[in-house]
Amino acid sequence: MWKRFASDYLSFTKKERSGMLVLLVLIAFFIILPFLFPFIIHTKPTDASLFKKQIDMLKMKQADSTDKYAKRNFDKEDYQNYREPDGNKAYAKKIKGALFVFDPNLLDEAGWKRLGVRDKTIATIQKFVQKGGRFYKPEDLGKIWGLHEDEIQRLIPLVQIKNVRKENYPEKKLYENKVYEKPKYSTAIIDINTADTTLLIALPGIGSKLSERILTFRNKLGGFYNVEQIGETYGLPDSTFQKIKSRFSVSQVTIHQININTANAAEMKIHPYLRYAIANAIVQYRLQHGNFTAVDDLKKIMLITDDIFVKAAPYLKVN
């Protein structure tokens, strides 16, 4: 039994033995190959000195940015940068100037320089005085733009102002209160069929454009027969129309009418209530059935609804 098992499963042909041998050689080659890389590929030694130099430079930059060095700040009073050393102690030049009693309203440029005030600040003070500005009390020095707090505290005890009356130097008003005059609107009743743009503009909420649109709409219709028609004007807000409709009336002036037995589609379609589809339907019905005997005959046309007929009928006639 064992001999049969060995002969069936453990015996190989010559080709199979050759294949297994080649496979074992390849496996051994790929296992040894990584150990042969140093002998085949020669890598250059890495120079770490450059990397160390860059690290040292970075450390120096970080040290420069620490709080032990001066910070850049902004002086809101003088709009100039100054250096602030460690400890939040503001750097300032030691003010060199003589100390003497003075009147800031009378002191000239040379006097301010003797006090140690900067040239820019002196120019500001001179402009202030030349334009009528006055110092009424020592604390008014604090209103000068560019004068530092330490300078103010140093100069205030030296200020001696002579009698200055405020009424002699009235302060200029930056803004004058202007009284807005509301437009006066006419309260008279306006005949909408005879009104011009001047009368319409006088109404609240009606400008030049809306007044022109109302008159253009009136001309296309051939006149108004009802005040409510004004509300159909393009661009006229309903809220505005409700405010002004009580101011209108309709005269007994005869409105322009179109003869539906003689007018063609081009003439009728210009009217805002007819348009081309209805005008063409009227002409086609007339060609098929003959002339209309009455305006009410238009109700026989399917396109003409009751609403359209009620609106358009006053503008139509048969003779």
Query: According to the model, what pLDDT value does residue 218 have?
Result: 92
The alpha carbons of the chain give a radius of gyration, in whole angstroms, of 52
Query: According to the model, what pLDDT value does residue 77 have?
Result: 45
Q: How far apart are alpha carbons 55 and 58 in whole angstroms?
A: 5
Q: What does CATH list as the number for 258-317?
A: 1.10.150.310
Query: According to the model, what pLDDT value does residue 298 have?
Result: 94
Return all residues near 63 (Cβ < 8 A) that are at least 6 apart.
Answer: none
Q: Give ∠ CA 81-87-89 in degrees, rounded to 5.
A: 45
Chunked mean pLDDT (size 10), the chain, 319 residues: 65 83 92 81 68 72 51 44 42 64 87 87 87 85 82 86 60 50 65 91 92 93 92 93 92 85 93 92 94 94 93 92
Q: How far apart are alpha carbons 13 and 297 in whole angstroms?
A: 115
CA 277 to chain centre: 46
Q: How far apart are alpha carbons 130 and 212 in whole angstroms?
A: 56
Contact 220, 235 (CB under 8 A): no
Return the closest-CA partner of residue 311 out of 215, 245, 222: 222
Query: According to the model, what pLDDT value does residue 196 have?
Result: 92
Query: According to the model, what pLDDT value does residue 114 have?
Result: 87
Where do the domains of the chain lie?
A: 70-178, 190-249, 258-317
Contact 300, 206 (CB under 8 A): no
109 in helix, strand or coil? helix
What DSSP letter does each residue of 88-144 carry, written as one string? T----PPP------B-TTT--HHHHHHTT--HHHHHHHHHHHHTT----SGGGGGGS
Alpha-helical regions (H) of the chain = 2-9, 14-40, 49-64, 109-114, 119-130, 149-155, 197-201, 208-221, 238-244, 265-268, 275-289, 306-312
Q: How far apart are alpha carbons 172 and 191 in whole angstroms?
A: 52
Whether 190-249 shares its CATH topology with 258-317 is answered: yes
Q: Is 88 left (phi over 0), alpha (psi -120 to 50) or beta?
A: left
Query: According to the model, what pLDDT value does residue 159 have?
Result: 87
Give me the sign of the Cα torsion angle 109, 114, 117, 118.
positive
Task: Say whether domain 190-249 belongs to CATH 3.40.50.150.
Answer: no
Q: Is 269 left (phi over 0), alpha (psi -120 to 50) or beta?
A: alpha
Phi, psi of 279 (to 5 degrees): -60, -40
Q: How far apart are alpha carbons 221 and 223 in whole angstroms?
A: 6
Query: According to the model, what pLDDT value does residue 118 have?
Result: 87
Query: According to the model, what pLDDT value does residue 74 have?
Result: 44
